[in-house]
């Protein structure tokens, strides 16, 4: 789900437009690149709206924009999780392929941007990024459990999947190509199938 689609499900007011704009800047430039001026320029909001809607200033905008963007992605993940891990992984790949293509490879994951780019005084931002990643990990873990894996194996596969695909998105941006995402998904798909084979048949030769 794009941020624009998520926005249509909510009231399209000035506050929401500012959150969307902040999230877009965060995806492109990281948390440090989000400035009040850029948010106002993109959203078309008047300057007085900053402290009216966000009395705590820039840090509040950052934290709430991250939550807004994270919730949009999480909604897709939760929706797909009930259909199994394979469907969820495929949907995750399709989502990022669309985001990369629509942004001409300028936009990445706002959660990664927040997790690795937070300053010491942006503790709230780091905590929100950790919460979102933990939710994704839990959702994917239970999707693998639903596919028949033991919980410990499912959790390992969930961590591997998130780390691999998020890393692939970074490589896609730097190479201006979706190829890293496709290759990462192919290897994840192979790994899942191999683990399924071992789960059902045991390790060959033993």
Given a contact cutoff of 8 angstroms between Cβ atoms, the answer to whether 96 and 181 are in contact is yes
Give 108-138 pLDDT, tens digit per residue: 999 998 888 656 556 778 888 999 999 999 9
Give 165-176 pLDDT, tens digit per residue: 999 999 999 999
Weakest mean pLDDT among 73-77, 90-94, 116-120, 147-151: 116-120
In this structure, what is the dihedral angle of CA atoms 59, 128, 185, 175, given to the nearest 10 degrees? 20
SS3 state at 148: coil
Q: What is residue 118's predicted lDDT score, i.e. its pLDDT?
A: 57
Q: How high is the mean pLDDT of the chain?
A: 88
Give 141-150 pLDDT, tens digit per residue: 999 999 999 9
Q: What is residue 115's predicted lDDT score, i.e. its pLDDT?
A: 85
The pLDDT > 70 percentage for the chain reads 90
**Residue 30 buriedness (CB in 10 A; 0-12 / 13-18 / 19+):** middle
pTM of the model: 0.84
Domains of the chain and CATH, by start: 3-201 (1.10.357.10)
CA–CA distance, 1 with 86 (Å, rounded to integer): 18
């Amino acid at each position: 789900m794009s941020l624009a689609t998520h926005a249509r499900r909510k009231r399209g007011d000035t506050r929401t437009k500012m959150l969307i704009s902040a999230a877009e800047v965060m995806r492109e430039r990281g948390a440090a690149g989000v400035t009040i001026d850029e948010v106002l320029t993109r959203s078309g909001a008047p300057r007085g709206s900053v402290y009216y809607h966000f009395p705590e200033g820039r840090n509040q905008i950052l934290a709430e924009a991250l939550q807004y963007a994270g919730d949009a992605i999480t909604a897709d993940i939760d929706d797909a999780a009930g259909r199994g891990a394979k469907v969820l992984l495929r949907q995750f790949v399709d989502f990022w392929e669309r985001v990369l293509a629509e942004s001409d490879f300028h936009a990445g994951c706002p959660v990664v941007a927040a997790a690795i780019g937070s300053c010491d005084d942006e503790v709230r931002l780091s905590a929100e990024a950790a919460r979102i990643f933990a939710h994704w990990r839990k959702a994917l873990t239970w999707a693998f459990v639903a596919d028949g894996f033991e919980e410990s194996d499912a959790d390992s596969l969930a961590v591997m999947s998130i780390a691999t695909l998020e890393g692939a998105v970074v490589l896609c941006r730097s190479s201006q190509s979706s190829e890293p995402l496709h290759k990462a998904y192919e290897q994840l798909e192979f790994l899942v199938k191999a683990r399924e084979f071992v789960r059902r048949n045991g390790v060959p030769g033993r």
